[in-house]
Amino acid sequence: MQINEVKYDCHYFRTGIPCIPNKKEGVECNNCVYYKPISKRILIIKLGALGDVIRTTPLIQKYKEIYPNCHFTWVTLSPAVLPASEINTIYKWDASSLYIIEKSSYDIAINLDKDQEACLLLKHVDAKEKYGYTWENQHIAPATPAATHKLMTGFFDGISQENTKSYLEEIFEICHFKFNKEPYLIHKNVDLVNQWKKKWEALSNGKKIVGLNTGCGPRWNTRLWNNEAWIKLAKKLTEAGFYPVFLGGELEHEKNLKLAEDSGAFYPGHFSLEEFIALTDGCEYIVTQVSMMMHIATALKKRMVLMNNIFNKHEFELYDRGMIVEPENGCSCYFGNTCQKGPESCMHTITADHVFNALVSIV
């Protein structure tokens, strides 16, 4: 085996260390049946919140369809949700990762974040084709004209409210594709999934499990549904033969303890993100406000009732598995963190009966 026989363009090549086929079977490049040449090197820059990272993953399948042997590098603030089996290299946003990316070359680079640092990275990265948002003349700019529509919806509320495209239609358009219901991808710990499957089977006694996700993060508190409605919904679900379970993170822990006590529904506690995904996988149905849970449930292919008030409902892609419930008289607090109606916000006009009936309609 000579150095000029090394297949540097192989998917399995690892800089400076033996590849997996060599470690497992002792094969070398001059006699290897596993040689898989890379067709395209693709960089995806999507930092953002966990939910935003998850809902960008449908692009993976599209690019694999077009370039079957493509190699993906993804840089993000939220690597834990990305499926390592589908993405070759996942970098967390830090100085070391940025140095490597800026000194590497790609066939295609995509930036779907509007933050200045992400736009500057796309501007300076070495790539033959660039899509999404870049940086020109001291401001964000479209890398190609296809990114203009999405930029404009971010600049002006009026244009955003008139938009009838889903987020996935928009990002596929930015990459010069058409969205065809390509699925979300997400990391799942199989061992944890199996553990929770057994727990849910023991607890639910054969009843359909409905996860009630009560949190939505602090950025837009106007999304929060009131406690009385959660309690009434949990009781109605129990009476109807379902097994309701309150779900949330650390921020919702005290609230969920109280909701469980007042409704008689189960609350398992709060867990790491990896375990939260695993326990959610054991639920048949999800009821949630617009939140990270919406994206987790979509990735796990759950039937879902989504409560929305301050966002454009056209943005959400539920893959024909869900129902969107909104205030009957609409909401005037578009992307707002305070409600113009005061404490009795428009979310209070969404009733437990309304949500229950929506859930029954998708069972």
**How would you write the pLDDT of the chain (363 residues) with one tens digit per residue?**
889 989 999 988 988 899 999 999 899 999 899 999 999 999 999 998 888 999 999 999 999 999 999 999 999 998 999 999 999 999 999 999 999 999 999 999 999 999 999 999 999 999 999 999 999 999 999 999 999 999 999 898 888 889 999 999 999 999 999 999 999 999 999 999 999 999 999 999 999 999 999 987 766 677 788 899 999 999 999 999 999 999 999 999 999 999 999 999 999 999 999 999 999 999 999 999 998 999 999 999 999 999 988 788 999 999 999 999 998 777 666 666 666 666 567 878 899 999 999 999 998
Q: Tell me, what DSSP letter sits at residue 11?
A: T
The answer to whether the pTM exceeds 0.85 is: yes
pLDDT for the residue 332: 65
Q: What architecture (CATH level 2) is domain 41-174? A: 3-Layer(aba) Sandwich (3.40)
Q: Is 254 helix (H, G, I), strand (E, B) or coil?
A: helix
Write out the two tokens for 89: 């290299």
Residue with tokens 């089977």: 201
* Bridge pairing between strands 285-289 and 209-213: parallel
State the pLDDT at residue 215. 85
Alpha-carbon span 325 to 309, nearest angstrom? 8
CA distance 236 to 352: 8
Q: What is the pLDDT of residue 158?
A: 87
Query: How many degrees, rounded to 5, is the angle at CA 220 between CA 219 and CA 223?
Result: 140
Query: How much is the pLDDT for 48?
Result: 80
Assigned token pair, 286: 């999800």
Query: To 10 degrees, the CA torsion angle through 345, 347, 350, 351?
Result: -80
**190-362, CATH topology level:** Rossmann fold (3.40.50)
Work out the burial of residue 261: count CB atoms within 10 Å of its CB; fewer than 13 is exposed, 13-18 middle, 19 or more buried.
exposed
Token readout for 143 is 């890398």
Residue type, 107: D
Where do the DSSP E strands lie in 10-146? 41-45, 71-76, 89-92, 105-111, 126-136, 139-142
